[in-house]
């Protein structure tokens, strides 16, 4: 769009003098000016996109529902909290009905023993677990029992579209090591809230609210009656189509920051920063998450000198192969593992 200038009526330029040869500077000066608005160095499409973003008004009566408080850093966790393992692991899942399945898990790994020196002491060990899963759109029941008597169970029940009840429990033969937790989640139009009850007189809760289309703020509290400890935390999350930035701080002094850059639909780069004054520990890590057609590659490196990588290969429908590696340069500890999973 714009004014149309006709060159037919313009007078023809005088001919160049004999022996004249145009230079590069003359050709550049005679070229038509770029299609940029006055006073800007951007093209019209970029300026129009910026004007559209600036002119978009925030509809505070129609804000999106934020992510759960416990999942504020889920994008960063996918790349930085990878499930590396050592040794061999094999999982077999057998579907009985469309909602019910049984699973068997065998692992042969090395268990680290505490030592006073810097050397790492490992003892080979093995483990077998038998589990059952019931997966329904409104209810999920999962249970695992190991050969040494440990029992773990998870329950998720959705009585309505806005209410969710979750129960996690772990029972062991050792005294004071059994745990249980009850979560009640409520999902509103533009907010989420959660109440928590656990053993040891644990009481907690959190609330997160969407402030704008991209920004959400939240807070949490907890009280442990058995240890007479309490705390309050605050969090913020800013997410767009290209990035996610989060920040959390608690009265215990813990500070957690994370940033994820979405390079494309299949590639993400992540980093985080953790400061714990109680343990006098400061850690920063950088990682990546790369989704290929039939595999997924994740890796990270942190300031403690630990380098980790995990490869998940989909060899065939229902058949997955995993490769895990971790190197701790400071402790001179090396871990390598591979695993196989069969079944849907």
pLDDT digits over 278-329, tens only?
888 899 999 999 999 889 999 999 999 999 999 999 998 889 999 999 999 8
246's CB contacts (< 8 A; 6+ apart) are 72, 73, 76, 235, 236, 237, 238, 256, 257, 258, 259
Highest CATH level, class, for 69-342: mainly beta
The first and second tokens of residue 115, run together, are 């030592």
Name the residue ranges covered by the structural domains of the chain. 69-342
pTM (predicted TM-score): 0.77
pLDDT at 42: 54
Residue 170 pairs with which residues in a beta bridge?
152, 179
Neighbours of 227 (CB within 10 A): 10
pLDDT at 24: 38
pLDDT digits over 211-233, tens only?
Answer: 999 999 999 999 998 888 999 99
Report percent pLDDT > 70 for the chain: 81
17's CB contacts (< 8 A; 6+ apart) are none
Quickly state the pLDDT bin for 337 (edges 50, 70, 90).
very high
pLDDT at 106: 95
Pairing of strands 151-157, 100-113: unpaired
DSSP 18: T
pLDDT over 80 (residue 20):
no
pLDDT at 61: 80
pLDDT at 50: 53
Lowest mean pLDDT among 49-53, 189-193, 212-216, 331-335: 49-53
pLDDT over 80 (residue 46):
no
Which of 233, 281, 238 lies closest to 258, judged by CA? 238
The first and second tokens of residue 186, run together, are 């409520």
pLDDT at 5: 43
Q: Rounding to the nearest 10 degrees, give the CA dihedral for residues 327, 331, 332, 338.
A: -40
pLDDT at 306: 93
Whether residue 237 contacts residue 228, with contact meaning beta carbons closer than 8 Å, is answered with no
């Amino acid at each position: 769009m714009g004014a149309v200038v006709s060159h037919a009526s313009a007078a023809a330029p005088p001919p160049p003098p004999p022996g004249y040869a145009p230079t590069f500077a003359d050709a550049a000066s005679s070229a038509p000016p770029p299609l940029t608005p006055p006073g800007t160095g951007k093209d019209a499409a970029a300026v129009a996109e910026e004007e559209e973003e600036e002119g978009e008004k925030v509809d505070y009566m129609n804000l999106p529902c934020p992510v759960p408080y416990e999942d504020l850093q889920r994008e960063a966790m996918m790349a930085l909290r990878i499930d590396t393992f050592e040794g061999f692991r094999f999982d077999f899942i057998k579907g009985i009905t469309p909602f019910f399945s049984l699973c068997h898990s065998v692992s042969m790994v090395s268990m680290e023993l505490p030592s006073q020196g810097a050397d790492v002491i490992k003892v080979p060990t093995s483990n077998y677990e038998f589990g059952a899963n019931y997966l329904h759109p409104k209810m999920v029941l999962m249970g695992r029992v190991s050969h040494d008597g440990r029992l773990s169970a998870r329950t998720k029940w959705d009585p309505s579209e806005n209410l969710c009840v979750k129960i996690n429990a772990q029972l062991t033969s050792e005294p004071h090591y059994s745990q249980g937790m009850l979560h009640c989640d409520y999902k509103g139009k533009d907010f989420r809230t959660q109440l928590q009850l656990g053993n040891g007189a644990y009481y907690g809760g959190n609330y997160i609210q969407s402030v704008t289309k991209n920004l959400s703020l939240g807070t949490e509290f907890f009280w442990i009656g058995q240890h007479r400890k309490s705390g309050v935390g605050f969090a913020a999350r800013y997410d767009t189509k290209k990035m996610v930035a989060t920040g959390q701080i608690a009265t215990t002094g813990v500070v957690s920051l994370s940033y994820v850059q979405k390079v494309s639909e299949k590639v993400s780069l992540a980093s985080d920063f953790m400061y714990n004054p109680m343990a006098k520990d400061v850690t920063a890590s950088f990682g990546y998450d790369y989704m290929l057609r039939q595999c997924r590659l994740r890796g990270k490196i942190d300031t403690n000198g630990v380098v980790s990588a995990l490869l998940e290969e989909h060899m065939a429908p229902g058949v997955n192969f995993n490769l895990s590696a971790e190197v701790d340069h400071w402790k001179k500890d090396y871990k390598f593992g591979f695993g196989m999973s069969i079944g849907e």
